[in-house]
Structure 1
């Protein structure tokens, strides 16, 4: 009953199943046979296998097959599979690994979740039980590592970001440019999809790690290095472009007045949290980390669970027209703290930045100014929000 129902729904939603494979002859037959019980829309991408994969696939003339002459990596195989599925006008693709760790019957889990979802712009990732005994410790650690960076890059918390058992919205992927071709592609695709407002979420699936059958092509040093480089780049893009873009989109969508009232004043955060967000923004904005203020303030606001909108807004205390005055005040405070006396005018600071010849004085003064200003603005912010909070409660009563 479930099998027939799933078959009908895969046809209704125009879903295919893509199976990338490389030298998994021990488990490939079982995986294909299992998938065919739930759908006939199957695409196998043979990623340059050198074992008996080709002979196995000859037994399945009814399924679509793509044979790559050389092994170029799982990411490339998936991209080739996606492109083929798009040409065949499929709207969604479920990917399942050929190493036997996934259960084909869980295809019904993805189809049911897709059917129930109000927003069909959806990317589903099968969440495995990583705490079971058969799961290798390195896989469990790697998954936690990946989950953390996905949260940093998208703000979305997931239980499992590394599972290859997924449902992809093919039309949405068509508009995204990808660069990776190995295992790291599965990270790139979900992060960039989330940046394009695709709903990314987990669905529960079963997992089997049978070391007598399973062949893993993951190379710990090379692939972990690739993944680390990719995450570094994605984090940089997140804080320099994605986060500010989202803030300005929200501002543009709501308008200045509504944005200020809803996201700044009427935000459900406590007065204390808002005040700390102001203090963080002012502190970072006045520190000497020029060019990195946005990255630092958004990262710290997320890490400390403060209000990103408020922190980002107040970090702009160092807008270009204010920079000469900030440097001048920093130098004067630095001289006071260190007991030195180097006279500079605003014109000297704004034209040729002579104050930087005494870098120690500037840095000491800059951090002193940042701390003092953060405390003052934080206290004033707390008083303001506390009064506003009380008035709001009184008005609602």
Structure 2
């Protein structure tokens, strides 16, 4: 796209650029000037800076400046910017960091990508974290974030931590729970939960230790991010996944739902057999109360059929529990020495311990054996009725 086309598209699609800043006096002017080449729709949020940021911003009369009295974190600055952008009538906001790591001349990448989309989308700049010059801790943190984002949304991205983004202002959540760096994780996860596509677009990145000022506090912020991901995972497993399951069930005919979501027609027979075997193993394991959480989590991590694994795990329904426990005790008895018959001996600590060990060992034997036999049986059966090409 030529410059004029980019400028016209920014105006027509009502796009603004948000620049949150905190003590980035070395790079702020360069970033603003770079953005200025593409649009005057600029909102700078001065998050309580104590350096010469206010003086620098006083030289720009045409842009919108929001000055916060105290530093409350990047998340709070972005929320403030989003509210202002909507008040001014914008539909999209491109966010760019003021520390100089983002190149303003990548703005056309976001604009062009948006123009090619038929629906609203949240775009995140992919900085190619495997290239030379990227700090190892940043690369590791990005991989860590990518994994949990995939776990929580089912969307695979190469970069989820880049602050260079395009947000659809009327599709993102209206209320948030985090004020600092972890906000950028919360917003993309919760936007994805609303079934808004989240995609990467390629951008350049500059890490210059002489200019760049990072306000990331490794221990505190990593702890906050870990706590947030823990909460998001719990919500995913106990609300989002069941909600999506019910939504898809209602949306499709029963036959189509069984074919696409339960049998996953594009999944191999081996995947289906492994999914059922996993469900049987977890259902027979001595992890009462956590079967659903564990089986869905493992199915997601191992890329198995979540529905088949969940259904198979229900082998431990209440009517079957006495038989499962009895079989486990029987299989575990040869491995326990000492008194274990509760009908012939007085109840004491030794007896309880022996029965518990006997049950744990037996249940693992039962789970391993049953899951292996069922998995092999299902695989052979599927291959008989629906053979796959080698």
- TM-score under structure 1 normalisation? 0.89
Aligned residue in 2 for 1:378: 375
Q: Secondary structure at the match of 1:118?
A: coil
Which deviates more, 104-113 or 375-384?
375-384
User: Larger deviation: 3-12 or 303-312?
Assistant: 303-312
The number of equivalent residue pairs is 381
**Helix, strand or coil at the partner of 1:267:** coil
- 1:129 corresponds in structure 2 to 128
Partner of 2:190: 192
Mapped to 2, the partners of 1:22 and 1:154 lie a distance apart of 31
Which residue in 2 is equivalent to 1:44? Answer: 44
SS at the partner of 2:43? strand
Cα offsets for 1:200-251 (capped at 9, x unmatched): 1100111112222111111112112211222222223223332333333323
1:155 is the counterpart of 2:154: yes
Query: Could you tell which deviates more after superposition, 53-62 or 233-242?
Result: 233-242
The alpha-carbon deviation at position 257 of structure 1 amounts to 3.3
* Bigger mean CA offset, 259-268 vs 105-114: 259-268
- Pick one of 320, 324, 335 that aligns with 1:326: 324
* Contact 1:284/1:297, CA 8 A, preserved across alignment: yes
Cα 1:7–1:220 shift into 2, 3 Å: same
CA distance in 2, matches of 1:358, 1:95: 61
Question: Are the counterparts in 1 of residues 340 and 355 from structure 2 also a CA contact under 8 Å?
Answer: no
State the 1:336 CA deviation. 5.9
Q: Which residue does the alignment assign to 2:347?
A: none
Cα pair 2:173 2:191 within 8 Å, conserved: no
* Matching residue within 293, 310, 313 for 2:311: 313
Q: Over residues 356-386 of structure 1, what are the superposed CA-to-partner deviations in whole Å (9 max), with x where a residue is unaligned?
A: 9932232223222212221232133113211
Are the structure 2 counterparts of residues 166 and 256 from structure 1 closer, same or farther at C-alpha, using a change threshold of 3 Å? Answer: same
Question: Match of 1:171, SS?
Answer: coil
**Equivalent residues in 2 for 1:168-183, closer than 5 Å:** 168-175=167-174, 177-183=175-181
Shift in CA distance, 332/87, structure 1 to aligned 2, threshold 3 Å = farther
What pairs with 1:91-130 in structure 2 (closer than 5 Å)? 91-120=91-120, 122-130=121-129
Q: Distance in 2 between matches of 1:83 and 1:208?
A: 29
Gaps of 5+ in 2: 344-350
Cα RMSD between the aligned structures? 2.4
For residues 353 and 382 of structure 2, the distance between their equivalents in structure 1, rounded to whole angstroms, comes to 38
More helix by share: 1
For residues 355 and 250 of structure 1, the distance between their equivalents in structure 2, rounded to whole angstroms, comes to: 47
**Residue 389 of structure 1, aligned match among 370, 386, 390:** 386
- The 2-side partners of 1:375 and 1:174 are apart by 45
- Which residue in the other structure is 1:367 paired with? 364
**Partner SS state of residue 207, structure 2:** coil
1:248 aligned residue: 246
Shift of residue 161, structure 1, vs aligned partner? 0.9
Distance 2:193 2:135 in 1: 31
Of residues 48-57 and 83-92 in structure 1, the stretch that sits farther from structure 2 once superposed is: 83-92
Indicate how the Cα distance of structure 1 residues 133 and 161 shifts in structure 2: closer, same or farther if over 3 A, else same.
same
How has the CA–CA distance of structure 1 residues 132 and 278 changed in structure 2, closer, same or farther, with 3 Å as cutoff? closer
Give the equivalent residue in structure 2 for 1:63. Answer: 63
What is the TM-score normalised by the length of structure 2? 0.90
Inter-partner Cα distance in structure 2 for 1:357 and 1:178: 51
Q: Secondary structure at the match of 1:126?
A: strand
SS of 2:195's equivalent in the other structure is: coil
Report the 3-state secondary structure (helix = DSSP H, G, I; strand = E; otherwise coil) of the residue aligned with 2:273.
helix
What SS does structure 2 have at the residue aligned with 1:100?
coil
Do the aligned partners of 1:47 and 1:67 also contact (CA within 8 Å) in 2? yes
Change over 3 Å in CA distance of 1:255–1:343 after alignment to 2: farther
2 CA distance for matches of 1:299 and 1:377?
A: 21
Question: Which whole-Å CA distance do the structure 1 matches of 2:152 and 2:264 have between them?
Answer: 26
Residues 272-351 of structure 1: matches in 2 within 5 Å? 272-335=270-333, 338=336, 342=341
1:237 aligned residue:
235
